Structure 1
Amino acid sequence: MPQEPHVALANSEQLAEQSPHQDIYAVIDLGSSSFHMLMVKVVGGSVQVIGRVKRKVRLAAGLNDDLVLSRKAMKRGWECLALFAERLQDIPPENIRIIGTATLRLAKNVQTFLKEAELILGQKVAVISGEDEARIIYQGVAHTSNSDSNRLVIDIGGASTEVIIGAGFNPILLASLNMGCVTFLERYFADDELSEDNFNQAIAYAEQEIHTIAKQYQATGWQLAVGASGTVQAMQEILVAQGKDEVITLSRLEDIMQQALACGRMEQLTITGLSQERKQIFPSGLAILIALFRCLNITGMTLSGGAVREGVLYSMLPQLQHIDVRNRTVKSLMVRYFIDEQHAQRVADMAVELAQQLQSRWDLNKFEGLSILRCSALLHELGLLIEYKNHHHHGAYIINHSDLPGFTRAQQQLVMALVHNHRADVSRDIIARQTMTSVLLTVRLTRILRLAVILSMRRRDEVMPQVNISSKGEALTLKMADGWLEQHPLMRAELEQEQEYQQLAGWEFVFK
């Protein structure tokens, strides 16, 4: 006769103590909509995701008006945790954290759920307050997204929405609002109608909640707004699928709402870019997001790389805390792919020097262009570990398919384009596909990186040439010291070849 999950796994703590997997960590988030498990391994000074498991539990749907959680909802949760428990057996107990959020905060009979859940998992579950959840979300964003400015962070959950302003790794304002995708689904879209009346009621209630914090948040201010939830990810996926860039705006959200209204009913909801998995709670998340944009006067928002699970994770990794996220990611890739660090830095320094000479005529700071150029220079030889001839293609493939904390998806695509085009033939198609930047900025950064690589080709600091670069419109002129090219015929040959490549791409380049 098979054992119950909690009986079969009750000795998981003893099994984990014998495990050699000391560098593997797991975080379980018992959310109001879904239960998530994140598993990572620390590799080369960064975290490598080795597993993600997500199950729709819709715990908040089982919470009645008296805040009592139904047995049916609890059973859905326990069944999910039995699946998670199997993956925890080989992980040291001290490397595991399990948290419960809004629904478990609210449920009066939460102890009934927790008692069985802890038996199944062989671990304690920490039910965190709304303020703690907001603080942890901010840490998750801070450790996966790059910004030195004040930023507004929004996380729309199943039963609560967290709104945070912070700078660097420090939160400044924290709020947890009583509204979420699942609770709004039950309250405003239970009839499956996608009507103006349903949307307007949902938006109006959300606006009431947001008005309690709006004045303080607007007075504090921010330079960057990021979303850390599935709702924001869904909106971004829709925009990109419909040929737009990744920046979410109020007008774009209202356009998406019109697309939803045109469908009429939930079962007929079909929007280009919207995944089947998110359809059910999509309208309620959209209504909340529209209300946030209206009440807080948000002009634009992008997607963060992390949230509550990542915040919990980094709390277990003190060696990775309070380090520049983008630099940490680049350094980790350099270690893992055996990049010649000294030469990469040489190319990066040359690229930055050229960019600074051109800055007065070419606006390269837009979209953090100079930072992206530097990172691309440091990673330009990423593909050499595979083979030389097409190493720029291999490097671009690795970047395109890697998890890169500190870079938005559009920034990651820009790094990929620069690495792909740093030598040999230029792929205009890859440049044209950039969504975050103008094609012009991508072209300018590509041209600078290509020249930096050529000028550093001797791989020795003492033979680096002194150069002056200038632009007239998009035409580039590179000047060397008198007689230098005559003394370095190979460099001259490389620059002549580069001149041909740039002419084929439609770019004017001369050197003297």
Structure 2
Amino acid sequence: MNESKSSPLYAAIDLGSNSFHMLIVRELSGCVQTIAKVKRKVRLAEGLDKNNQLDQAAMVRGWQCLSLFSEQLRDIPEQQIKIVATAALRKAVNAQVFLTQAEKILANKINIISGETEAKIIYRGVAHTSGGHGKRLVIDIGGASTELVIGEQSETRLLNSLDMGCVTWLKRYFSDSLSEDNFAQAIEAAKAVIEPVLSDYRRLGWKSALGASGTIQAVLEIITAQGLDERITYPKLKAIQQQVIACGKLETLNIEGLNEERKPVFASGLAILIALFESLQIEGLTLAGGALREGLVYGLLSQQETSSVRARTAESFIKRHHIDVQQAERVAHCAITLCQQVTPRLSDRALSLLKWAAMFHEVGLNIEFKKAPEHAAYIIDHSDLPGFTSAQKHFVSSLMLNQRGQWQAQLLSQQHALEKPEALILTRMLRIAIIVCMRRTEGSVPNINLLQNENDWQLCFPPTWSEQHPLRAAELELEAKVQSEVGYPLRVIEALC
């Protein structure tokens, strides 16, 4: 193994009860760049018998997977590699048999971590990769355990590792049928596991909820494939449950948006998630940007600031693509100031996405001007942006495409980050702000009042503004025509508003 301490590469391997994961990153100029992500379904927990003996077949599946991973570790210094094992190997009475051979294969030490440590590392991964403020509830449904954490910024406030997972619940409740009765038994059993710690979570409370597991990723893929927004809610989960029940058996499970690889443990994971929603009275859940393996990597790295994941991502992105920061901030301030005059009030989530869309809107100029919106959309869609969900990235990408020229209405119906009324307002505002700020100089942006009658808008500028600024006035008149022609009336007037 190359022991060079100058290597910028770091590796994290998570020997989970359902899947084994490997993450390779490079630390570069204060940001983290993902080099490789490898995942294999090993289903180690399937090999546990009633006495918690891990069978030979499960061990062999694990060793074969680690033989694939080992090649990638050869050129990474040992001190920059972290390998952990979780619930299945915590339970296995013969875990050492598996570990002895696994450590020979990887030429590295493997640590079996406690449920509490696992929960702490999961929260670190979420804190480093997901935006948000205030107390957060984090859920990770693994193969043999489920971690529940409440934290704020980078600190955990309450954590538990619960003895239930999508592989163990599969063996107990869904091996023969996907019936309504089996679901009811699985959900009630999960609620019984949650009950002893329930009062602690209700008492502490949280502002937002995030999920960091394959089950939650699968639910997100289903609801977006079926035309719904990315927020996971109880009615959506119950609707998916009915679709699963209608399939009857695992062999015939076929739901729009459900990946083939996720099918075997989806029903069991869904039952646990429904139980969590019911017990904790969760209003809505979004997918986190990372979990255990990201937490392991960030524990190895020198970068420890987690107060604003999106701000750190934006700073790196803007620097990498040579974006004019002053102009981007000017457009963002103009757009947000106008949005703050809209009724009903826009959500904080919408205003945050508008800010970052404005900050990124000129990224395509780094390639060329004529098709800059298309280039910007492509770059956003295909960049690793910690702190932004895939649906949020796609929405920002759609704003990039719609920032000037012909109005592209279909983009508003193809995104799942916001409800359409908010998405519409953000699209209109960004287009307007870009024109208002086209002088690119300090002090050139006037005070504008927005007069609104639902989607019928008037932009009220100071008297004689159009005479002093004829180019921007002409561009705004053209924009007013574009928006009005697609059913969103816009007029530009001058008055003492």
Please tell me the TM-score bracket, short chain as reference: over 0.9
Q: Is 1:131–2:113 an aligned residue pair?
A: no
Structure 2 counterpart of 1:486, from 467, 485, 493: 467
Q: Which moved more, 1:242-251 or 1:142-151?
A: 242-251
State the partner residue of 2:227: 243
Letter in 1 for 2:478: Q
3-state DSSP class of the match of 1:279? Answer: helix
Give the C-alpha shift of residue 498 in structure 1: 1.6
Is the CA contact 1:351–1:449 (under 8 Å) kept in the aligned structure 2? Answer: yes
Q: Is 1:17–2:3 an aligned residue pair?
A: yes
State the partner residue of 2:177: 193
Structure 1 counterpart of 2:350, from 350, 369, 388: 369
Question: How many residues get paired?
Answer: 493
Give the C-alpha shift of residue 44 in structure 1: 4.9
Could you give the per-residue CA deviations for residues 317-376 of structure 1, whole angstroms, max 9, x where no partner exists? 2325324011112222111211111211122222222223x14x3422x25111111111
Distance in 2, matches of 1:492 and 1:207, equals 62
Structure 1 counterpart of 2:247, from 263, 275, 278: 263
State the partner residue of 1:106: 91
Give the C-alpha shift of residue 403 in structure 1: 2.6
Q: Is 1:230–2:211 an aligned residue pair?
A: no
Give the C-alpha shift of residue 106 in structure 1: 1.5
Letter in 2 for 1:424: G
Is the CA contact 1:367–1:437 (under 8 Å) kept in the aligned structure 2? Answer: no
Distance in 2, matches of 1:327 and 1:379, equals 12
Once the two structures are superposed, the pairs formed by residues 61-140 of structure 1 within 5 Å of their partners are: 61-140=46-125
State the partner residue of 2:431: 450
CA distance change for structure 1 residues 432 and 418 in 2, over 3 Å: closer, same or farther? same
CA distance change for structure 1 residues 194 and 314 in 2, over 3 Å: closer, same or farther? same
Once the two structures are superposed, the pairs formed by residues 385-424 of structure 1 within 5 Å of their partners are: 385-424=366-405
Is the CA contact 2:229–2:419 (under 8 Å) kept in the aligned structure 1? Answer: no
Is the CA contact 2:154–2:307 (under 8 Å) kept in the aligned structure 1? Answer: no
Is the CA contact 1:45–1:328 (under 8 Å) kept in the aligned structure 2? Answer: no
Could you give the per-residue CA deviations for residues 373-423 of structure 1, whole angstroms, max 9, x where no partner exists? 111110000111121111112111221222322123332232222222121
Letter in 1 for 2:45: A
Distance in 1, matches of 2:330 and 2:236, equals 43
Percent identity (aligned): 50
Structure 2 counterpart of 1:176, from 152, 158, 161: 161
CA distance change for structure 1 residues 510 and 312 in 2, over 3 Å: closer, same or farther? same
Letter in 1 for 2:327: H
Q: Which moved more, 1:85-94 or 1:37-46?
A: 37-46
Letter in 1 for 2:284: G
Distance in 2, matches of 1:43 and 1:472, equals 49
Distance in 2, matches of 1:254 and 1:467, equals 46
CA distance change for structure 1 residues 478 and 251 in 2, over 3 Å: closer, same or farther? closer
Once the two structures are superposed, the pairs formed by residues 295-306 of structure 1 within 5 Å of their partners are: 295-306=279-290
3-state DSSP class of the match of 2:14? Answer: strand
Structure 1 counterpart of 2:276, from 265, 283, 292: 292
3-state DSSP class of the match of 1:476? Answer: strand
Is the CA contact 1:314–1:321 (under 8 Å) kept in the aligned structure 2? Answer: no
3-state DSSP class of the match of 2:318? Answer: helix
Query: Gaps spanning 5+ residues in structure 1: where?
Result: 1-11
Is the CA contact 2:153–2:307 (under 8 Å) kept in the aligned structure 1? Answer: no
Letter in 2 for 1:104: L
Letter in 2 for 1:474: N
State the partner residue of 1:344: 328
CA distance change for structure 1 residues 397 and 320 in 2, over 3 Å: closer, same or farther? farther
Could you give the per-residue CA deviations for residues 226-253 of structure 1, whole angstroms, max 9, x where no partner exists? 1110001111111112222222222322
Q: Which moved more, 1:264-273 or 1:486-495?
A: 486-495
Is the CA contact 1:206–1:288 (under 8 Å) kept in the aligned structure 2? Answer: yes
Aligned-residue CA RMSD in angstroms? 1.8
State the partner residue of 2:292: 308
State the partner residue of 1:498: 479
State the partner residue of 1:317: 301
3-state DSSP class of the match of 1:281? Answer: helix
Distance in 1, matches of 2:213 and 2:417, equals 20
Query: Gaps spanning 5+ residues in structure 2: where?
Result: none
Give the C-alpha shift of residue 105 in structure 1: 1.2
3-state DSSP class of the match of 1:318? Answer: coil
Is the CA contact 1:19–1:90 (under 8 Å) kept in the aligned structure 2? Answer: no
CA distance change for structure 1 residues 434 and 148 in 2, over 3 Å: closer, same or farther? same
Structure 1 counterpart of 2:18, from 33, 49, 58: 33
3-state DSSP class of the match of 2:67? Answer: helix
Structure 2 counterpart of 1:145, from 107, 113, 130: 130
